[in-house]
Amino acid sequence: MNTIRAVSHRRLAAAATFILSALALPGVRAVAQGSARTAPRNLELFLLVGQSNMAGRGTVEMQDSVAVPRVYMLDAANAWVPAREPMHFDKPKVVGVGPGRAFGVDIATAWTTAEIGLIPAAVGGSSIRSWAPGALDAPTKTHPYDEAVARARAALASGRLAGILWLQGETDSNASGPADYEQRMRDVIANLRRDLNAPDVPFLIGQMGRFAEKPWTPYRTRVDSLHQVVARTTPGAAFVRTDGLKHRGDTTHYDTPSVREIGHRYARTFLVMQPTPTRK
């Protein structure tokens, strides 16, 4: 009996060694990582830009990590993978659930045959001054605008840009921020449309967080009014309200249910603007 057990263990070990060796082969490894290599090429693309509430700071729950058919994201290596939270990688120690995935799932549900590609590119804490060509965001040592454009251009090899989602403004809600915010917001829209060769792409501006425990300052109220003015006076733009939601305990970032709700609100607004896929 002991001899039989020894032989069985040796056979199992040999089989395991064979499987592991096979997985090391390039062809088999590609299958194992196929989610990044077999994504459809006719994606409806959405660029996610702004600061931390777009990147997401909500606690990741099981439902946020489940792959949803036809909803992909561009990972940090510019590979297409199933959209799972956290999608962003701006600040790995704190990044969490953002509105992008919920938005993508809603669009895929409405556009029943479309493949959705989400392009995470937000940077927590970034000022609108960082969202200009060549501009540096000193705290993160990144170039938010340039890197977002580079990622979007890489994604365009796999589809067509269908929309841009913006959620930003807290960093500029100070004594000096509002003075030129309107023009800078208009420049962000014009520059992205120009540099991504998408002059008419829908641009959705999300409202900053407003929580009862931390009333808005006059500066934040002013930035909010400028968001609304730009959305109202820019062709193909819209303002997405985020009132009535909850923060995660820091009076700055949304909790997980709230940030998902923001994604739903972006989707409802977008679908009014674009009821059917850009690809017929």
Give residue 280's pLDDT.
59
Residue 214 backbone dihedrals phi, psi, to 5 degrees: -140, 85
Strand 203-206 relative to strand 159-167, pairing? parallel
CA 179 to chain centre: 28
- Locus of tokens 């309107």: 182
User: What tens digit of pLDDT does each residue of 203-228 get?
Assistant: 999 999 999 899 999 999 999 999 99
- Among residues 255, 263, 272, 274, which one has the least CA distance to residue 96? 255
Asked whether 209 and 170 are in contact (CB, 8 A), the reply is yes
Strand 71-74 relative to strand 159-167, pairing? unpaired
* CATH of the domain spanning 39-273, picked from 3.40.50.720, 3.40.309.10, 3.30.930.10, 3.40.50.1110: 3.40.50.1110
User: What tens digit of pLDDT does each residue of 143-189 get?
Assistant: 999 999 999 999 999 999 999 999 999 999 999 999 999 999 999 99
Per-domain residue ranges of the chain: 1-32, 39-273
What whole-number distance in Å separates Cα of residue 121 and Cα of residue 123? 7
What whole-number distance in Å separates Cα of residue 97 and Cα of residue 84? 9
What whole-number distance in Å separates Cα of residue 50 and Cα of residue 203? 12
Single-letter amino acid, residue 137: D
Residue 71 backbone dihedrals phi, psi, to 5 degrees: -125, 115
According to DSSP, residue 216 is labeled P
CA 83 to chain centre: 9
Report the chain (280 residues): mean pLDDT per 10 consecutive residues: 41 39 33 44 96 93 94 96 95 94 98 97 96 96 98 97 97 96 98 98 96 93 98 98 92 93 98 87
Give residue 23's pLDDT.
34
Residue 167 backbone dihedrals phi, psi, to 5 degrees: -145, 105
Give residue 103's pLDDT.
98
Both tokens assigned to 152: 């979007």
